[in-house]
Structure 1
């Protein structure tokens, strides 16, 4: 299975300015971002065989990543810069 990165810059390609602003101004967003990156890395390592995980744990990590992405998405949506 090929790992598809869920890094935020790939998930929100049109919101780069909003991501930068949130990372610099919102500590809660930064914690979510850090947790998302750590879980994404664990999933990647499991999928390429570096860190063997049970299928149950892998699925649990994917669910955690999705929940974080949902919360991050709401923050991005609510923080978007208006387009002139």
Structure 2
């Protein structure tokens, strides 16, 4: 099972992620959305019975990538 938490994905931005979570509402919303989608994917992947369809799981993975791209753009600003 791969670790897709943002601090694992962007270890060079751990401090900036923490600062933005505290001080930027738009970033905080992206962060929370990413973490929720990531947790849902992990739940489905770890569940031996997989209570979702492959299509739904793939859609969630695409959403996670999109959110990660948005977050990366935030991190690269300023």
Structure 2 segments unaligned to the other structure (5+ residues): none
* Length-normalised TM-score, structure 1: 0.85
Match of 2:70 in 1: 71
Number of aligned residue pairs: give it: 77
Higher helix share: 2
* Length-normalised TM-score, structure 2: 0.91
Moved more, 42-51 or 11-20: 42-51
Structure 1 segments unaligned to the other structure (5+ residues): 80-84
Match of 1:39 in 2: 37
Query: 1:55 and 2:54 equivalent?
Result: yes
CA contact (8 A) 1:5 1:40 kept: no
> Which structure 1 residue ranges, 4+ long, deviate > 3 Å from structure 2?
none
Q: CA deviation at 1:42?
A: 0.7
Secondary structure of the equivalent of 2:58? helix
Pairing partner for 1:4 from 2, 11, 15: 2
